[in-house]
Structure 1
Amino acid sequence: MSVTAAAGFEASGVVAGLKSSGAPDVALVVNRGRSTAAAAVFTSNRAKANPVLWSQQVIADGRVDAVVLNSGGANCFTGAFGFQTTHSTAETVAAALGVSATDVLVCSTGLIGVGDQTFRDKVLSGSTAAADALSVDGGLDAATAIMTTDTKPKQAVVSGDGWVVGGMAKGAGMLAPGLATMLVVLTTDADVDASGLDSALREATRVTFDRLDSDGCMSTNDTVVLLASAESGVAPPAGDFAAAVTALCADLAEQLQADAEGASHDIRIEIVGAASDDDAVEVGRSIARNNLFKAAVFGNDPNWGRVLAAIGTTSAEFDPYDVDVTINGVRVCHAGAPDRPSDDVDLTPRAVHVLVDLKTGPVEATILTNDLTHDYVHENSAYSS
């Protein structure tokens, strides 16, 4: 299960010294296929890191030969020097591979404000080393090198009819809609042009990564890129390809949720009976961002009143006294009033399912989140120390 599962791709992950732990911290994914079609989506945060600013220009023509990624420093709010570091990184990779720097996507993750000469030197030397280490078996190394506070690498593969989609992701904190704090590289050997890739990727991220809301905090570096080599020689129907990309993104999004910093519960908030998609998503996100509700789940307290209170802050169409709330299979609220006793709800398992029926229409949506724990507060209070 790796970013090199699709034919035509090589990857690597090396130690450049960016992390004090000595763990791998520079990764490279290269498309060696007959096609270099690509698509990408980025953070919607107005405060964008230098690699995002660079990569938005690179992807404009729908072609990408390589993606270089570093952990150990976000290269964000590092001024003109930081943007030049990104440009130099692309040039270093391009020289090693014999391609154009304007076809090299650059991604960074780590602490904001890190980007001095030492950082640049390590990223550039690591990029050269990563190019030398490329292998069709290098997917796991690459997935490991992009980790920051992640506890495990995240990889997934979905097989089509004679073609494959594979990918890797990183992310554990600052997970909120707008792509969450993630770097994701997806690859396929299907024969799909840049327009088809863009359509499939945007639909997939809309219902997966953009519906992962761990802590309501949006990052500056989020990037999700999809590369196609066409090495399978198969041009799948657009619907089949989009479904595979969505399934792959859903798998990776759930892995990100499961690795959220300090979380002890994975919460799936399912909204049904909504009048519109916007209503369903708004209600789900409101619950996912409600710290009182998330703290209650951490304490194994099925406090459904906090769910209704969160819903009430939205502009969605619903009658507060006609809403049902079910937690882990127990309907604790019916028509805005108590139903079965809260003591009937078992919140000791890690998986928590919250079902909210708005009873205003046929639309459904699911938002993924997690509980608010002591460990999350501690880890993020000491992140830069």
Structure 2
Amino acid sequence: MSVTAAQGFEAAGVAVGLKSTGNRDVAVVVNRGPLKVGAAVFTSNRAQANPIIWSKQVIQDGVVEAIVLNSGGANCFTGSFGFQTTHQTAERAAELLGVSAGDVLVCSTGLIGTGDEVFRGKVLEGVAQGIAELSADGGENASLAIMTTDTRPKRSVISRDGWTIGAMAKGAGMLAPGLATMLVVITTDAVLTSEQADTALRAATHVSFDRLDSDGCMSTNDQVTLLVSGASGITPDLADFTAALTEVSADLSRQLQGDAEGASHDITIVVRGAANEDDAVEVGRSVARNNLFKAAIFGNDPNWGRVLAAIGTTQAEFDPYNVDVWMNGVRVCHEGGPDAPREEVDLSPRATELVIDLLTGDATATILTNDLTHDYVHENSAYAS
């Protein structure tokens, strides 16, 4: 059911020709209330697409009536024409829904630097067609419409004590913090204020989407949105809601990791024994972005020396000659020296776990990444052709 699993939401996903494949390419999600609460987090890239610039303005008052998303074009670096396109998208949706354009979020994904009158016309057509097809069963079609190089849709639903969270996501490449190149829409029928929604969303993304670092490349269009309808009439404990939201976000992050472009290994990097959480994240990120390590994993080579070389570039507090490293359950390095023979490590499964113990403190963090493959290079060398 995706985003329509929660009460109070309708959605649609339609095809208007933005994609050469003819697949669905415009999604609309509408909050029917009674609450119209919204919260969002955005890419930290200084280069930001027109929909991000628009949506940052919309979200300031915490009121969101609807969100329109298109694939098949990022509408980024398209100048004033591109911003006008985003503005007109919100205005068209607002006119058809009888709401204010200032309460309509807009998201786009696809190739950067393209956009013309044909693109604009198709997006506006998609808005009209999508709103005409809105239904409480439209969540699955909406999740299909936001896909680009994704090979499958990403959806997640969780229910707790009479309230529900439903979600959809897209993302397969340019996966790095600042959210990864993802569009995520999360809905809930729980009763929350805009301040509570914002607090919960930031806490959830901090330990999920922000720790997905597949290829180290940050997008211009990332946005994670939480919409609150309050239709269940139930006000959950904020800690309980945040825990459930984090669970949904972590599930979607794993789905994004598992569909990363060209990847043959899904690598979970667990850093423990750190002096603090920031150190653990920095150390995990240094390995996730190390092409030598990622290439070794692609070749099923347990080259743990590349792990120590990577973490040595950080400012984290630890002794590089007193570190333990496990690869898929085998301790290959103990206190900065060789331990079990490399031959004992089986890297043939897609699921790969790297554990780094800094033997310094009690903090832990987990980073998700992928290997570096021929297919990744090929897919991204031909993305615009």
- Residue 202 of structure 2: aligned partner: 202
- Residue 3 of structure 1: aligned partner: 3
| 2:332 is equivalent to residue 356 of structure 1 | no
Work out the CA distance in 2 between the residues paired with 1:61 and 1:12.
26
Residues 37-186 of structure 1 aligned to structure 2 (within 5 Å): 37-186=37-186
Work out the CA distance in 1 between the residues paired with 2:207 and 2:61.
25
- Residue 302 of structure 2: aligned partner: 302
Structure 1 segments (4+ residues) deviating >6 Å? none
Work out the CA distance in 2 between the residues paired with 1:75 and 1:190.
33
Opposite residue 156 of structure 1, the aligned amino acid is: S
Residues 221-370 of structure 1 aligned to structure 2 (within 5 Å): 221-370=221-370
Work out the CA distance in 2 between the residues paired with 1:20 and 1:356.
44
Report the Cα offset of residue 101 of structure 1.
0.4
Work out the CA distance in 2 between the residues paired with 1:363 and 1:192.
31
Q: Secondary structure at the match of 1:322?
A: coil
Opposite residue 301 of structure 1, the aligned amino acid is: D
Report the Cα offset of residue 33 of structure 1.
1.3
Work out the CA distance in 2 between the residues paired with 1:169 and 1:63.
21
Gaps of 5+ in 1: none
Q: Deviations over 1:134-163 (max 9, x none)?
A: 011111100000000000000001111110
Opposite residue 248 of structure 2, the aligned amino acid is: L
Report the Cα offset of residue 64 of structure 1.
0.3
Report the Cα offset of residue 16 of structure 1.
1.1
Report the Cα offset of residue 92 of structure 1.
0.5
Work out the CA distance in 2 between the residues paired with 1:378 and 1:53.
32
Work out the CA distance in 2 between the residues paired with 1:160 and 1:59.
27
Report the Cα offset of residue 225 of structure 1.
0.3
Report the Cα offset of residue 109 of structure 1.
0.1
Q: Deviations over 1:340-374 (max 9, x none)?
A: 00000000000000000001100000000000000
Name the TM-score, length of structure 2 as normaliser.
Answer: 1.00
Gaps of 5+ in 2: none
**Fraction of identical pairs, as percent:** 71
Q: Secondary structure at the match of 2:4?
A: coil
Work out the CA distance in 1 between the residues paired with 2:280 and 2:263.
24
Report the Cα offset of residue 165 of structure 1.
0.6
Q: Secondary structure at the match of 1:270?
A: strand
Work out the CA distance in 2 between the residues paired with 1:310 and 1:160.
42
Work out the CA distance in 1 between the residues paired with 2:160 and 2:275.
34
Residues 5-44 of structure 1 aligned to structure 2 (within 5 Å): 5-44=5-44
Q: Secondary structure at the match of 1:320?
A: coil
Root-mean-square deviation (Å): 0.4
User: How many residues align structurally?
Assistant: 385
Name the TM-score, length of structure 1 as normaliser.
Answer: 1.00
- Residue 378 of structure 2: aligned partner: 378
Work out the CA distance in 2 between the residues paired with 1:310 and 1:34.
51
Work out the CA distance in 2 between the residues paired with 1:284 and 1:160.
32
Q: Secondary structure at the match of 2:321?
A: helix
Work out the CA distance in 2 between the residues paired with 1:16 and 1:75.
16
